[in-house]
Amino acid sequence: MAAAAAALALTVPVVAGYLDAKYQLMSDLHLISTLTFCRIQALLREKRDRLNPFYTLEENAQKFPERTWIWFQGREYTYKQGYEAVIRHGNWFRDEQGVKKGDIVAIDFMNCPEMIFIWIGLWSVGGIPAFYNYNLTGDALVHVVKVSTAKLAIVGHRVEQTVGVKKQINDALPEVKVVIFDEDLENKVNGWRLDRPEDELLSGAKLADMAALVYTSGTTGLPKPAIVSWWKNTGASKFVALWLKLNPGKDRYYTAMPVYHSSAALFNVMACLQIGATSCLGEKFSNRTFWPEVRASGSTVIQYVGETCRYLLTAPPSPDDKNHNVTKAFGNGLRGDVWKEFRERFGIRAIGEFYAATEGMSGTWNMNTGDWGVGAVGVAGALINLLQGSKTAIVDIDYETEEIWRDPATGFCKKVPNGERGEMIFKLDENDIGASYKGYYRNEKASMSKLLRDVFKKGDAWFRTGDVLTVTDDGLIYFNDRIGDTYRWKSENVSTMEVSNAINSHPRKIVLDSAVFGVPLPNHDGNAGVACVVLHPEVKEDEATFDELLSYLQKSLPRYATPLFIRVIGEVERTGNNKVVKGGLRKQGVDPEKTAGQAGGVWWLKDGKYQKFTDDDWREIKAGRVKL
């Protein structure tokens, strides 16, 4: 019996380990239990009419008044100090600016504590913040102000000094009051009255109601104001904190990502507030300040978005690379080609990658510590597939029209097999779409464009992500591309992300950065691949360089995916969240008249090698005398 018991004791952990590895049971259980807990707690807060995060801040200030809530440029603000600052700012909005419950107020700030106090101060008196991208100027700036319907805009003095938005707004929209929040005004507000706002101003919030407006990145057009609900500011943000297993009393969580976007706003600032942790803010992302601020703040978790990690790797190696307290990095957009290099160079034990959209209602999650799952945006094991499998789908796409493919006979869509690419869609309650999908503020056309009806059966409703993803047999979920970025050439679908990853992965680091897209060519079907590249400063723009790059790409990519054109540029334009902006480059294409006078030349794949693309070459293509 003793021997049998001993054998059983040895066998059970082995079997449990095998089952966990095969079906991802533990990660599924953690995710499902965490989400369920946050949903129940949010519903209870809604029932008690304590959904507004001002109540959470108040509770934190009472429980641990001396714990640091916000760290910024060496200065720390405790929960008690932050709570009082929020009340003062809220009362200033009421007394001085006449803000009433339900009023939308624009906030145009670089990251700083005052932005947080203004944001939650608005909530404390029933206002609704609309977060503007502080980089916007001209028509784009006027557009975001106009579509928000805000009649009051609070602008940080650093934004005003850098961009000068007051005159731009008032020249086009004189009815909008623009208040510059300079040092004098800040001091004035910090001395404002400290009377706690009445509960009537905070009451009545429902999980599905609008709590804020957060704009899309604007990579495909003018930014659109997405409605962010109270659920996302309470339950969803707390879910991130608990999924990351943040320790409120020990972890300090750093972000230099812009708080005007949902990643930093919800998944750092709100996540820390919901559990009483410390949020460490950088004013904006910079290779020069990132790690020094991480060290100075004592941060144990860092946030990234887009190409942040690639930028950090472009800095020369330093003896201080692992001189920090960080154990986890969390974010979205970390490409597989830099994942392991980033983790190993900076000594990061775990990377938490997620996939979601500001206007979406679901997401995928991957906590990675080893080789398995590198590059994946999510892991869906047996339990998640059992409980959530009917609520997500990867469906076939017609890449020519960029629409989801429908069966000519039935009109229904088709799920793609594991391993194949398709658009990720999320199930909605067809009888109450607004319960989870809020869309864009006062833009029914844009909101409806994200909805699909009659997908797998008559009357059902689904949310279109606009993103191409792949799910493997073992439950790993990979992001491939935005649908508009995947192009068709030689009857094949080409992923710009796959091509860009290959270019950036050259072992000699010939290319520091790249933007890949497809462009139409005269007298040719489909779109030809163009790779705009930033060459390493020590690399020459010559045939030898492109011969070396071509040799590597031919080993790394399918033949049809090798870019037909390579264009040398000075830098890749990005949003504040480090996402590539390709619109301008795509409009220029490879037309010599439009690319003339740029940082470098255009090269094209001719006779088996990259050669300089000339005006004569372009004329030959236009005349139909070149077959590619």
Task: Tell me, yes or no, whether 432 and 566 share the same domain.
Answer: no
pLDDT band, very low/low/confident/very high, at 380 (cuts 50, 70, 90)? very high
Task: Tell me, yes or no, whether 158 and 278 share the same domain.
Answer: yes
Which tokens go with 307? 């190409």
Residue 19 lies in a domain: no
Q: Which of 379, 411, 429 is the last residue before a domain boundary?
A: 379
pLDDT at 434: 86
Asked whether the CA dihedral 186, 188, 191, 196 is positive or negative, the reply is: negative
- Looking at the structure of the chain, the number of domains it has is 3
- Say yes or no to pLDDT of 218 above 70: no
> CA torsion, points 327, 331, 333, 334, in degrees to nearest 10?
0
- Say yes or no to pLDDT of 599 above 50: yes
Report which of residues 596 and 18 the model is more confident about.
596
Q: 563 with 517: CB under 8 angstroms?
A: no
Residue 199 lies in a domain: yes
Q: Which of 427, 446, 481 is the last residue before a domain boundary?
A: 481
- Say yes or no to pLDDT of 579 above 80: no
Q: Which of 338, 364, 379 is the last residue before a domain boundary?
A: 379
For 80, 186, 281, 472, the CA distances from 183, given in Å and listed in that order, are 22, 5, 19, 54
pLDDT at 422: 94
- Say yes or no to pLDDT of 222 above 90: no
Asked whether the CA dihedral 381, 384, 387, 389 is positive or negative, the reply is: negative
Task: Tell me, yes or no, whether 240 and 366 share the same domain.
Answer: yes
Q: 427 with 390: CB under 8 angstroms?
A: yes
pLDDT at 369: 94
DSSP calls for 474-488: TSEEEEEEETTT-EE
pLDDT band, very low/low/confident/very high, at 21 (cuts 50, 70, 90)? low
Residue 6 lies in a domain: no
Task: Tell me, yes or no, whether 357 and 397 share the same domain.
Answer: no
Task: Tell me, yes or no, whether 288 and 393 share the same domain.
Answer: no
| pLDDT tens profile 148-174 | 999 999 999 999 998 899 999 999 999
C-alpha–C-alpha distance, residues 460 and 456, integer Å: 7
- Say yes or no to pLDDT of 19 above 60: no
pLDDT at 337: 83
pLDDT band, very low/low/confident/very high, at 20 (cuts 50, 70, 90)? low
Task: Tell me, yes or no, whether 219 and 326 share the same domain.
Answer: yes
pLDDT at 3: 53
Task: Tell me, yes or no, whether 183 and 285 share the same domain.
Answer: yes
Which amino acid is present at 24?
Answer: Q
Instruction: Read off the CATH number of the domain in which 421 is found.
Output: 2.30.38.10
pLDDT at 462: 96
Which tokens go with 175? 């009815």
Q: Can you say how many angstroms the Cα of residue 603 is from the centroid of all Cα atoms in its chain?
A: 33
Residue 392's DSSP bridge partners are: 426
Task: Tell me, yes or no, whether 194 and 263 share the same domain.
Answer: yes
Three-state SS for 558-569 is: CHHHCCCEEEEC
Which amino acid is present at 581?
Answer: V
Domain extent, residue 455, equals 384-481
pLDDT at 95: 97
Task: Tell me, yes or no, whether 370 and 234 share the same domain.
Answer: yes
Residue 14 lies in a domain: no
pLDDT at 221: 67
| pLDDT tens profile 481-500 | 888 788 888 878 788 888 99
Task: Tell me, yes or no, whether 413 and 525 share the same domain.
Answer: no
Task: Tell me, yes or no, whether 496 and 476 share the same domain.
Answer: no
Q: 550 with 502: CB under 8 angstroms?
A: no
In the block, which residue shows the tokens 């000068």? 164
Q: In what order do the strands lie in the sheet with 301-305?
A: 75-78, 68-72, 278-281, 252-255, 301-305, 328-332, 350-355, 364-368
Residue 20 lies in a domain: no
What is the mean predicted confidence (pLDDT) over 184-195? 97
Mean pLDDT (the chain, rounded): 91
- Say yes or no to pLDDT of 590 above 70: yes
| pLDDT tens profile 54-84 | 999 999 999 999 999 999 999 999 999 999 9
Other Cβ atoms closer than 10 A to 221: 10
| pLDDT tens profile 306-359 | 889 988 998 999 999 999 999 999 999 998 889 999 999 999 999 999 999 888
pLDDT at 16: 44
Three-state SS for 297-321 is: HCCCEEEEECCHHHHHHHCCCCCCC
Q: 300 with 349: CB under 8 angstroms?
A: no
Residue 8 lies in a domain: no
pLDDT band, very low/low/confident/very high, at 11 (cuts 50, 70, 90)? very low
Task: Tell me, yes or no, whether 357 and 427 share the same domain.
Answer: no
Instruction: Read off the CATH number of the domain in which 579 is found.
Output: 3.30.300.30
Residue 17 lies in a domain: no
Report which of residues 463 and 336 the model is more confident about.
463
CA atoms within 13 A on the CB side of 216: 21
pLDDT at 492: 81
Q: 15 with 204: CB under 8 angstroms?
A: no
pLDDT band, very low/low/confident/very high, at 576 (cuts 50, 70, 90)? confident
Residue 349 lies in a domain: yes
pLDDT at 254: 98
Taking each continuous run of H as one helix and of E as one strand, the counts in the chain are 23, 29
